[in-house]
A and B are shown apart, each in its own frame.
Chain A
Amino acid sequence: MSLTTSFDPHLDEPEAPLYAARKKIYPQGVSGFFRRTKTTILIITLGIYYFLPFLRWDRGPNAPNQALLIDLPHRRAYFFFIEIWPQEVYYLTGLLIIAAMVLFLMNAMAGRIWCGYLCPQTVWTDLFMAVERMIEGDRRTRMNRDAEPMNLETFSYKLLKHSLWLLIAWWTGGVWVLYFADAPTLVKDLIQFEADPIAYVSILTLTLTTYVFAGLMREQVCLYMCPWPRIQAAMTDEYALNVTYRVDRGEPRMSFKKATHARSLGETAGDCIDCQQCVAVCPTGVDIRHGADLGCIQCGLCIDACDEIMEKIGRPTRLIAYDTEVNLKRRKEGLTEIFRPFRARTILYMAIITAVSGVMLYALLTRAPFTVSVIHDRNPIFVKLSDGHIRNGYTVRIANMLPSERIFTLAVEGLHDAHVEIIGGETLIDGRPSVSVGPDQTRELRVTVRALDGREEEPTHLEFTIRDESDGRTAEARDYFRTPHSIH
């Protein structure tokens, strides 16, 4: 694989250059099915990105009403009806596993379509290119302008373009911070210069990265910075659909005139008329006719470009198409095409996606509204009291994830005649110590358990149960009671 058109390798020189200047790419506008698909996805994804923070979701009192909010100061994340606490970060792990598997599945089905349609780098670059085309004109105009010495007209076009780019980049960064605070309030604060300095720094940083990556670096990000093309190449197979130049149909390539002449004589002529349209529209400057390429992001714009030409010259479309390596070979051998969407790897990916989603869904549906966790004192492991009793100390943490204050009673089972005390504790309910925990809050308690030294050789299992006194729901945690005889 090579980066064929991005460089000028100076093949005539005896020494190859160590560093090459970037060869600027002037992607040409194109229309067709894949262009429309890309535009649709662009509008949907950017629409979601720019407007999602403003979507409201009523969670009642004591909770924010923003549909998607990552509240870092309060260590909470809200996704519609889901509220995630820091200790539940495994949901994020699950989400990342699913995301990776979906990416792999996409790759097994149709190569780097993530890169071509969905990747933020592609989406914003596409948007920036559309702005560029609107202001500066299409490929030819831009190339001609750049070839001429700078004049006032070119300069003003460029100034306008960069200003619009910066404006979009600024919006992009501006919206990013809205996911981390109440959006309408933050917008107001930002305008009145009352927001946290970190918000302004984030906006500035993201404005610059968006401007640099989508405006200036573009395909360089895919070629040099992104690890996915490297990983992807090792994960694809001969059944995956990839944007492919159909060599069997295209070669030998010759001009339209020559091809017509050859065909009239009954000689073979390829459908490719070497018009270079596929190269002209490519956003990464790839010549797809060279075969699979590290720079190819599978966006299919060359298919649109080629189809247009094929229609004009009256040849069948899809000379460049989403095609598989196996079919390329089978057509050469005169065999029928085969498609195998269900293969070992796709089935495996789907199985993993289903399993992880299933586990996550189950965990989400059976999620406890409150939890208790217990940590045994590490030092001292036990305390001998003056009357010979043994006391163990525990840090008990009760997390009340409900939006209202709750009274919990604590019961410790597993030891005969154990005396349980919450230090600084509150009133007893039915002989059990109780505490109140505020809405959406965690309370840390120091709990001691005192019992006779039963001289047990093994630590005694204890079951800590908290009970919500309003509805009788419980949560449990386990730990041990240790004596001088069972401290191993």
Chain B
Amino acid sequence: MTNKTEANVDPHKVVGTTGHDWDGIAELNTPLPRWWLWTFYLTIIWALGYWVVYPAIPLATSFTKGVFGWTSREQVVKDLEGLNTLRGPMTAKIEAASLQDIAKTPELLSFARAQGGAAFAVNCSPCHGAGAQGFKGYPNLNDDDWLWGGSVDAIHTTLQHGIRWDADKDTRSSMMPAFGKDGLLKPNEISASADYVRSLAGLPTEKDADLKLGQKLFTDNCAACHGETGEGNQDVGAPKLSDKVWLYGSDKATIIERITLGGGGQMPAWSQRLDSPTIKSLAIYVHTLGGGQ
């Protein structure tokens, strides 16, 4: 603040100037209203109130809990309860209806798809991808090629009991032998089998491929599960080999790798983790991605 002299008072107005002068332009010294100051003090008091009411100050091993003991965790639990109450009537309807009825009723279908989509994002997308597009070894759920069946009931069963999930006694299991690793087939036999598998799907084979040997080996070792023409068998989760969809890849090296190592993928049994309406919704969601049968 400068000392106020007559020269420091704006001649047209009754308000003083700060005494600062920029090329003849003076700065008027207009004081702030006092209520503004009180409002400012009030916000400070309000902030102090927050310290008292809410968890605020960190201590050595814990923190001040606030007078009402409010926690964000309890808030989440409360919010979730509220949400469940809100969804209660629809969830009850999903629980009561058969999968086929859900698919036929637009109201239930859209609810199940929304709920299933949300559950999918949390539980399934780590393996199957955000859009259920799958990855190498993890099936794409959009296409029409199903390992264990693509009807809504089959999908539901898969979801409930998982695949090769020993913790569930109803899980579905099958195991392709590790033909190479366990020495069941010699490398040249595996190569011939791989060539033959490619030919089943109409893919080009190498010039010196011994398809005769391949066919013989296939009939002896593979056809029991994969079928004589590679048509697959959903009862044992044996993939169809004559189509355009490949779980691990259709190049020869990948096929040799699969024959060598055998085995199969695993999927958790979700009935141990999710409630029944959610699993039903998931089945509907996956079925309506486009490939459901």
Interface residues of A, Cβ cutoff 8 Å to B: 2-4, 7, 9, 11, 13-22, 220, 223-224, 290-291, 377-380, 383-388, 391, 393, 423-424, 443-444, 446, 448
What A residues does B243 contact at CB under 8 A?
Answer: 386-387
Task: Assess whether A291 is in contact with B12, with CB atoms less than 8 Å apart.
Answer: yes
* B142 CB, min distance to chain A CBs, angstroms: 4
Residue of A nearest to B143 (CB): A383
A/B interface sample: 16 pairs, CB < 8 A: A7-B30, A9-B14, A9-B16, A9-B31, A11-B4, A11-B14, A21-B33, A21-B34, A22-B33, A22-B35, A224-B33, A290-B13, A378-B131, A380-B142, A385-B245, A393-B142
Annotate B257-293 by CB proximity to A: 1 below 8 A, 0 otherwise.
0000000000000000000000000000000111110
Interface residues of B, Cβ cutoff 8 Å to A: 1, 3-4, 9-10, 12-16, 28-37, 103-104, 106, 109-110, 113, 129-133, 140, 142-145, 240, 243-245, 288-292
What A residues does B106 contact at CB under 8 A?
Answer: 424, 443
Residue of A nearest to B289 (CB): A393
What A residues does B144 contact at CB under 8 A?
Answer: 385-386
What A residues does B13 contact at CB under 8 A?
Answer: 2, 4, 290
Task: Assess whether B31 is in contact with A20, with CB atoms less than 8 Å apart.
Answer: yes
User: Bound state CA distance, A13 and B10, in angstroms?
Assistant: 15
Task: Assess whether B3 is in contact with A14, with CB atoms less than 8 Å apart.
Answer: yes
User: Bound state CA distance, A196 and B262, in angstroms?
Assistant: 64
Task: Assess whether B113 is in contact with A11, with CB atoms less than 8 Å apart.
Answer: no
User: Bound state CA distance, A388 and B245, in angstroms?
Assistant: 8
- 9 tightest CB-CB pairs across the interface, nearest first? A379-B131, A386-B243, A380-B133, A2-B13, A20-B31, A383-B142, A388-B244, A386-B145, A19-B34
Q: Which of B33, B35, B143 is the one whose CB lies under 8 Å from A386?
A: B143
What A residues does B140 contact at CB under 8 A?
Answer: 380, 383
* A399 CB, min distance to chain B CBs, angstroms: 15
What A residues does B142 contact at CB under 8 A?
Answer: 380, 383, 391, 393
* Chain B CB within 10 Å, residue with most, of A9, A16, A291, A377: A16
User: Bound state CA distance, A443 and B107, in angstroms?
Assistant: 10
* A421 CB, min distance to chain B CBs, angstroms: 8
What B residues does A391 contact at CB under 8 A?
Answer: 142-143, 290
Known pairs A2-B10, A379-B131; A16 contacts B110 (CB<8 A): no
Q: A9-B14, A383-B143 are in contact. List 12 more A-B contacts (CB 8 A).
A: A2-B28, A9-B15, A13-B4, A16-B1, A19-B32, A20-B31, A379-B133, A380-B132, A384-B143, A384-B245, A387-B244, A391-B290
Residue of B nearest to A443 (CB): B106
Q: Which of B15, B34, B290 is the one whose CB lies under 8 Å from A423?
A: B290
* A89 CB, min distance to chain B CBs, angstroms: 24
User: Bound state CA distance, A446 and B31, in angstroms?
Assistant: 64
User: Bound state CA distance, A248 and B9, in angstroms?
Assistant: 25
User: Bound state CA distance, A443 and B288, in angstroms?
Assistant: 16
Known pairs A384-B244, A393-B289; A290 contacts B12 (CB<8 A): yes
Task: Assess whether B15 is in contact with A3, with CB atoms less than 8 Å apart.
Answer: yes
User: Bound state CA distance, A386 and B29, in angstroms?
Assistant: 81
Task: Assess whether A377 is in contact with B131, with CB atoms less than 8 Å apart.
Answer: yes
What A residues does B145 contact at CB under 8 A?
Answer: 385-386
* A225 CB, min distance to chain B CBs, angstroms: 10
